[in-house]
Amino acid sequence: MVTPLQQKTLEACYQSVDNLQKDLKERLQSFERHMRGLMEKCMKFEEVITTLYTRIQQLEEDIAKNRKSSGMTEACQQQFQSQDRILASHDIKLAEDGLRLGMMDYKNTDGILRWKITEIGRRRRDAVSGKTLSIYSQPFYTSPNGYKMCAKLYLNGDEMGRRSHLSLFFVIMRGKYDSVLPWPFKQMVTLILIDQGGRRHISDTFMPDPSSSSFKRPRSEMNIASGCSLFVSLSTLDGGGYITDDTLFIKMIVDSTELYRAD
């Protein structure tokens, strides 16, 4: 038989659980609103970047057409120089927008990078011409207080893979909690190229070399990249379902199941 005191205790417990559930629900709703806001910011940044790229391409085409014409006057030369300066300023603005987009306060803290890369055709042309050899992903983390990392991609290859392969690398970045994390970095890393048809993902896994400077505590903004210069051949990349709507998807998984967490 339940005494009045026990009944009151049970009721208090039920009320405490109800209050906790309400608090958790409110926090979850707040987090979802925050995430929606961040996604809207991402979309706006992408729109700005796309507009800038379009303007840059138009300027490049205009410059190329004008330079082919004969009888170039001094006034034309000055016009071309002015266009070159405008083009350079757009490049700087574009780089700044990309940096701000990558440094937004949203943090992926599950040790898994999901990287969507758009405008592959233009980016590959930039890589072939030497304008932009590599691109970096947004940072991701093994935990909220864990290692800070990113991916580095060469669309026209690097080292042994230059001009024949897509090269994909893993990069340790300097993070806020490096002083309380174990070094060197020893977590297994898996690199994945996503087949958007869902059939033939390409992956490679490696264990860090503890003696390599790539996996020691960073002394600058990021360590030397480590990964696969021969990750996938360009012929395979073009022949499969890896590029759809001028978009490529990369996934990178850092195994943190055995990782000591200082938090």
What are the boundaries of each domain within the chain?
1-106, 107-263
- What is the pLDDT, as a whole number, of residue 256? 86
- What is the pLDDT, as a whole number, of residue 111? 94
Third-level CATH fold of 107-263? 2.60.210
Q: Is the pTM above the cut of 0.85? A: no
Cβ-based neighbours of 224, under 8 Å, separated by 6 or more: 213, 214
- What is the pLDDT, as a whole number, of residue 15? 76
Assess contact for 193 and 252: CB atoms under 8 A: no
- What is the pLDDT, as a whole number, of residue 12? 75
Q: What is the pLDDT along the chain (263 residues), one digit of tens a residue?
A: 667 776 777 777 777 767 767 776 777 676 667 666 666 666 666 666 666 666 666 666 666 666 655 455 566 666 666 665 665 555 555 555 554 554 444 568 899 999 999 999 999 999 999 999 999 999 999 999 999 999 999 999 999 999 999 999 999 999 999 999 999 999 999 999 999 987 789 999 999 999 999 999 999 999 999 999 999 999 999 987 899 999 999 999 999 887 754 44
- What is the pLDDT, as a whole number, of residue 63? 66
Give the torsion sign (CA, 128, 206, 115, 181). negative
